[in-house]
Amino acid sequence: MNTISVIIVTYNQRRLLEKCLNSLEALPAGSEIIVVDNASVDGTAEMVEREYPGVILIRNEVNLRFAGANNQALRRVRNEYVLLLNNDTEVMPGAVERLINALEENPDAAMVGPQLLNPDGSIQPSCHKFPTLWTHMCDMLALDRVFPGVSMCSSTTMLYFDHQSVREVDHLTAAAVLVRMEALRQIGFFDEKLTIYYNDLDLSLRLKREDWKSIFIPEAQILHHGGQTAIQLRTSWDYFVEQQDNIYYYYLKNHGRIVLFLYKVILLIGMLPRLWFWTFSSIMTKDSRATVQKHFTLWTLRHLLGHGKD
């Protein structure tokens, strides 16, 4: 069985990272684990040095976000397969072996992903379509929530798929994916201008355009605590602005100015009712997240027709 490199980017999640590392005991002989610490202040790096001396630790003095930190590690990988893991995952027994077998059995696949499980054992949707103007319209008009079992009304998340069978998909959630380094060397690593959002989506799109496949493997299971990595940022104003900047850049890069403009129009349609909702919520609940959402919605509305990165 091929040796692999495991890459885990972490930021202030020491306890979850411990669980993740402890779940990686059954790797093929000769494999390596690389942890990239994005300037944590909770003792994460010190814990790795003390408790896991066999782990390669990269300590950053500043937070390089998801794309930059993963690229740091990818540049030093020498194995042919690399397992990208969030620090809030736990690898179930046999999962790595099944993912490796899937890549070996599918030479035209660049990426294989496991069935992600919530902490209560339920299935976490992890298969996605590429976003289009129509999928955004379905999201903005809540068609995907009203008709979750209808693929035509779906946003990017494939809620109509039961995640119980092997399937080629456009995009796999990057919380846990095994990737072929040959494919990454062909198309390049993560686009670091996509700092926190759509970076894995952009990678999947570039792979697809070069005729590489992404395959979902339900026999491999990985527990995902679901968004714990990003939850520290979600009430941050800077996070919302950075996220929207990433989306604008993705559309401009991959689909051009006309599609970016039309995306903004769709966003405008969806933002107006959301402004009323978040304003009401912030007044009634005094919730800080609702207040941030309200101000971010206002910011988005002001910048919709004039913002976008060149």
| pLDDT reported for residue 106 | 97
Whether the model pTM is above 0.95: no
Q: How does the average pLDDT of the chain come out, rounded?
A: 88
Q: Which residues of 133-164 are buried (b: 16+ CB within 10 A; e: fewer)?
A: eebbbbbbbebbeeeeeeeebbbbbbbebebe
Position 231 pLDDT exceeds 70: no
| pLDDT reported for residue 307 | 47
Q: Where are the alpha helices (DSSP H) in the chain?
A: 14-22, 44-51, 65-74, 95-105, 133-140, 143-146, 181-187, 199-209, 228-231, 237-285, 288-303
| pLDDT reported for residue 131 | 93
| pLDDT reported for residue 261 | 86
The tokens for 238 are: 């800077």
Residue 83 near residue 111 (C-beta atoms within 8 A)? no
Q: Is 252 helix (H, G, I), strand (E, B) or coil?
A: helix
Position 57 pLDDT exceeds 80: yes
| pLDDT reported for residue 121 | 94
- CATH classification (class only), 4-126+163-230: alpha beta
Q: Between 142 and 49, where is the model more confident?
A: 49
Q: Between 143 and 49, where is the model more confident?
A: 49
Give pLDDT tens digits for 152-208: 888 899 989 999 999 999 999 999 999 999 999 999 999 999 999 999 999 999 999
Give pLDDT tens digits for 13-27: 999 999 999 999 889
The tokens for 192 are: 């670091």
| pLDDT reported for residue 309 | 43
Long-range contacts of 297-305 (CB under 8 A, 24+ apart): 297/271, 299/240, 299/241, 300/244, 300/267, 300/271, 301/268, 301/271, 301/272, 301/275, 304/264, 304/265, 304/267, 304/268, 304/271, 305/261, 305/264, 305/268
Domain assignments of the chain as residue spans, ordered by start:
4-126+163-230, 233-303
Which of these, 133, 122, 108, lies nearest to 163 by C-alpha position?
122
| pLDDT reported for residue 287 | 60
| pLDDT reported for residue 1 | 65
| pLDDT reported for residue 38 | 97
Distance CA 286, CA 280 (A): 10
